[in-house]
Copies of this chain bind each other. A is one copy, B any other.
Amino acid sequence: MEKSFAVAALSALAQETRLEVFRLLVEQGPDGLPAGVIGERLKLPAPTLSFHLNQLRHAGLIGSRRESRSIIYAANFNAMTALVGYLTENCCRGQPERCLPMVNPAACVPVKRNGKHARA
């Protein structure tokens, strides 16, 4: 993962409204939700929601598809995983046992992607 991608993703999530939107979509799973429903649940004016959905989409954290009049948004789970992996990458110089007393091993070596960071 690129540093600029990570910054974009983190910036997108670093805002209360967007974080709520994202978590709602993560909870929903791959099926996602139409913009209207999201706005209804989180009580957001349409332009505000649209702005935030755009930020999340440009950051690659969510995807969208049109379905009749609605536009359905869904979390991008690959991006989520990649971001988490980027944050925790190389933790403790590859000696995760050094932070294991404090964290779950999975968080320290989370992304098993063509074996690159795998250790467990």
List the interface of chain A (C-beta within 8 A of B). 3-4, 6-7, 10-11, 13-16, 19-20, 22-23, 26-30, 77-78, 80-81, 83-85, 87-93, 95, 98-99, 102-104, 106-108, 110-113
Measured CB to CB, the nearest residue on chain B to A106 is B106
A10 touches B19 (CB 8 A): yes
B93 touches A13 (CB 8 A): no
A27 touches B102 (CB 8 A): no
Measured CB to CB, the nearest residue on chain B to A12 is B14
Secondary structure class of chain A's binding surface, majority of residues: helix
B7 touches A92 (CB 8 A): no
Measured CB to CB, the nearest residue on chain B to A118 is B104
B13 touches A98 (CB 8 A): no
B87 touches A107 (CB 8 A): no
**Known contacts A7-B16, A107-B110; A102 and B87 CB within 8 A of each other:** no
Q: Which of A20, A30, A102, A111 has the most CB of B within 10 A?
A: A102
B77 touches A102 (CB 8 A): yes
